[in-house]
A and B are shown apart, each in its own frame.
Chain A
Amino acid sequence: MSIPEIEFKGYGMISTDPSMWSEFQVVPITPKNFGPHDVEVAIKYCGVCGSDVHTLTGGWGKKPDVPLVVGHEIVGHVTRVGEAVAEFKPGDRVGVGAQIGSCGECRVCKAGDENYCPKMIHTYNGVYPDGVRTQGGYSTGIRAHEQFVFKIPDGLELRDAATMTCAGLTVFSPLKVNGCGPGKTVGVIGIGGLGHYAILFAKAMGATVYAFSHSASKEADIRKMGADFVVSTHDLDYYKPLQGTLDIIISTIDHFSPDRPLKSYLSMLRPHGRFVTCGLPDADNPLPTIHAFDLMYNGCYIGGTHMGSKREAIEMLQLAADKGVKPWIQELPMSQAKTAVEGVKTGKARYRYVLKQDLVNYD
């Protein structure tokens, strides 16, 4: 295949008027200044993440600079590699997720936890030290430091891998960190993009899975995803029979309601069990109030997580290829990004939209 010169452009938000948050126009993009450790990727697909919506709407508090191209569930083919890059070559199938930079020198980076580097740079709405703004994957191409580029194994389609680079990784990491595996029982709260991946990966890792959903309409799908038990959270006492049952709860709750105290979820944990909030609500939506007693009865922990490291991403992608993990995606042309982001905002996705890049044909 001949290596294309990428004309960097994408579907960007151009107005800061809140009512125009989902109106995209094609805009040119200034890519990262190419360096010896960089990899350039011609984008084939990009998944649509809740983060895209929180960012575009201003819900996360930071008014974005426009034009802004979002999207951080990116897959495509390598077109060019810097001189110091040994892991990749042109033509490789790769993915890029929600992080595009770190300092590489701090204790966290040296421990292989670059997703927790205090100087991390996000794939969009961030800025490089040289002043170039980061623009995301609703576009024709992206350049990234090799640490943030993940090879897609044979046996895993690009279209399926796209949303694993953020949604998949965001739940795989805490499952792995908290010892998910055979003999463990995992609860997943909220079965959307993140939640459905938590079921798929927890099952692939050998655990027993309880899925919690308020949508009766999703029950048949959830069973097909492999959940062992489906619990409707409409029943206000749903948690009572499950006291002390779960080792890990992956919460994808995106909006915490004060009439759903955390303590009902926490009570379902075994001694020292872990409740991990993977969902990141708007800036004005804190966790429901907790008392120290809520943590005391079972010595449980409430935690957070931020994407995943490259090591975890590679492990996840290999697991997906080995076990034939098939995400539930709905593909749309990238020109229909508006439909997709509005669908995510209203909870319509079954269970993740993937945009097929349609500005330039790389085939």
Chain B
Amino acid sequence: MSSHSEIEFKGYALTSSDPLQWSDLQVVPIKPKNFGPHDVEVAITHCGVCGSDIHTLTGGWGALSKLPLVVGHEIAGKVTRVGDAVQEFKVGDSVGVGAQIGSCGECRACKHGDENYCPKMIHTYNDLYPDGVETQGGYSTGIRAHEQFVFKIPDGLSRRDAASMMCAGLTVYSPLKVNGCGPGKNVGVIGIGGLGHYAILFAKAMGATVYAFSRGTKKESDIRKMGADYVINTDDAEFYKPLQGELDIIISTIDYFSPDRPLKMYLSMLFVHGKFVTCGLPDADNTLPPIHAFDVTLNGCYIGGTHMGSKKEAEEMLQLAAEKGIKPWVEELPMSKVREAVEGVKSGKARYRYVLKQDLVNYE
């Protein structure tokens, strides 16, 4: 493969602002980032479909100001070009790119290796570079990114499997790591979809005991195969009562908070100073159910949030996945079938993550 393959940047984009057309994506040309010395260019082979893509396309996270918009931030592909200052990557490397594509590099968060909390962070799509170029995502043939946001995929991990780790995996891996998941810890996972299934796989890989919470019983046998030690049906109105004080960490993937499910039910399952982390990001009009100070007082527990993960966490996660042979439950579709995938995510059909195989250009 030549070292300066010319990528024809194009992708499946939202072109209409009619909310009924949110899943009707058309192929459009893309203007990529202006290539700089720290940048890496990636020919995309796979892109996972994330809940964020749906929240964005439907306008649930706010009206879109710039169309056309190409979403997708669970990207895997091959390096085709590197800037002069890049040492970590070379042409041909298998790499991934997640939900963040820029940060300032200078602030305290960046200097501490927490670039995913930089106040000036740039998202992989629907955002803007300082020079005015719009960021376009991975339902496309290629992307350019600063090397800080490109992660090498270790040997033993396929691009198909690594793709959805770039956002879904990292989004749950980071709070597991931050909150000390490991042997001897009890981790609850609420909601077993794309994020939730990764939380089970990673928490088990890190040595914890895992309690999986799911509505109904239809996913139970899959959840046991994923490795969960206990499966709890949350349709049972009292599901939380036998588990008071049992859990050290709860990874919540709840994507819609219902007022008839007070947070205090979940919080009561935490051990002293346990952590409930909301990884799911609902629509802008869906706030957390009301909490009283009493709800966090009885066990001194914490409710927290999380935002993607740092490069350091991403590399650690990918290495763990390769070493422990973590296999995500992925359904692969050609990228031209993106409509089926995004509608499937919206209606909760994914078992447990769709990955689109890029089919506009053949890079093999």
Closest to B117 in A: A271
Residue pair B272, A108 in contact (C-beta under 8 Å): yes
- From B278, B286, B292, A287 is in contact (CB under 8 Å) with B292
Neighbour of B290 across the interface among A244, A271, A287, A303, CB < 8 A: A287
* Closest CB in chain B relative to A169 CB, distance in Å: 13
Stretch in contact with the other chain, from B5-13, B192-200, B301-309 = B301-309
Q: How far is the CB of B300 from chain A (nearest CB, A)?
A: 5
Which among B26-34, B107-115, B127-135, B223-231 touches the partner chain? Answer: B107-115
B307 pairs with A297, CB closer than 8 A: yes
Q: A290-B287, A301-B304 are in contact. Are A283 and B292 (CB under 8 A)?
A: yes
Which residues of A are found within 8 Å of B307, using beta-carbon distances? Answer: 296-299
Residues of chain B within 8 A of A174, CB atoms compared: 300
In the complex, the answer to whether A113 meets B272 with C-beta atoms within 8 Å is yes
* Docked pose: A106 CA to B278 CA in angstroms: 28
Q: Does B357 contact A (CB under 8 A)?
A: no
Cβ-defined contact, B305 with A303, below 8 A: no
Task: Determine, out of A32-40, A221-229, A272-280, the stretch whose residues face the partner at the interface.
Answer: A272-280
A294 to B304, CA, bound (A): 9
Given A244-B108, A244-B109, A292-B280, the answer on whether A280 and B303 have CB atoms closer than 8 Å is no
Of A111, A177, A296, A301, the contact of B275 (CB 8 Å cutoff): A301
Residues in A242-289 with C-beta less than 8 Å from chain B:
243-244, 270-272, 274, 277, 279-281, 283, 285-287, 289
Q: List B residues 157-187 near A (Cβ within 8 Å).
A: 174-175, 178
B107 neighbours in A (Cβ, 8 Å): 244
The proximity string for A residues 290-309 relative to B, scoring 1 for CB distances below 8 Å and 0 otherwise, is 11111111111111111000
B288 at the interface (CB under 8 A from A): yes
Contacts of A118 in B (CB 8 A): 244-245, 298
- Whether B20 is near chain A, meaning CB under 8 Å from some CB there, is no
Contact residues of B between 286 and 323, Cβ < 8 Å to A: 286-288, 290-307
For window 150-194 of A, CB contacts with B under 8 Å fall at: 173-174, 177
With A271-B117, A298-B117, A301-B275 as contacts: A116 and B290 at CB distance below 8 Å: no
Give Cα distance in the complex from A54 to B282, angstroms: 36
Contact of B273 among A177, A270, A280 (CB under 8 A): A177
Contacts of B280 in A (CB 8 A): 292
A270 to B118, CA, bound (A): 10
Return the CB mask of B241-283 against A: 1 if under 8 Å, else 0: 0001100000000000000000000000001110100101110
The residues in A between 86 and 123 inclusive whose CB is less than 8 angstroms from any CB of B are 106-108, 111, 113, 116, 118
Complex Cα gap A167–B283 (Å): 40
Q: Is the CB of A295 within 8 A of B299?
A: no
Contact of B117 with A116 in the complex, beta carbons under 8 Å: no
Docked-complex contact A177 and B245, CB < 8 angstroms? no
**Cβ of B237 under 8 Å from chain A:** no
Q: Which of B108, B119, B291 has the most CB of A within 10 A?
A: B291
Residues of A within 8 A of B85 (CB): none
Complex interface: chain B residues within 8 A of A274 (CB)? 302
Min CB–CB distance A190 → chain B (angstroms): 13
Please give me the residue from chain B that is nearest to A287 by CB atom.
B291
Contact indicator A108/B245 (Cβ below 8 Å): yes
Tell me which residues across on chain B come within 8 A of A295, comparing CB atoms: 278, 303-306
Considering the complex, give the chain A residue whose CB is closest to the CB of B257: A292
Contact A303 B272 (CB under 8 A): no
Q: Do A306 and B297 touch across chains, with their CB atoms under 8 A apart?
A: yes
Task: Give CA–CA (A287, B303) in the complex, Å.
Answer: 13
Q: How far apart are B121's CB and chain A's nearest CB, in angstroms?
A: 9
Q: Which of A116, A279, A299 contacts B272 (CB 8 A)?
A: A116
| Minimal beta-carbon separation of B264 from chain A (angstroms) | 11
Q: A272-B178, A283-B292, A295-B278 are in contact. Are A116 and B305 (CB under 8 A)?
A: no
| Residue B284 CB within 8 A of the other chain | yes
- Interface hits, A194-217 → B, CB 8 Å: none
Docked pose: A98 CA to B169 CA in angstroms: 44
**What are some 24 contacts across the A-B interface (CB < 8 A)?**
A111-B272, A116-B298, A118-B245, A177-B300, A270-B108, A271-B109, A272-B178, A277-B297, A281-B292, A285-B292, A286-B291, A289-B287, A291-B282, A293-B281, A295-B304, A296-B305, A297-B305, A298-B305, A298-B307, A302-B296, A302-B302, A304-B296, A304-B297, A306-B299
3 residue pairs, one from A and one from B, having the closest CB atoms: A295-B305, A304-B296, A301-B304
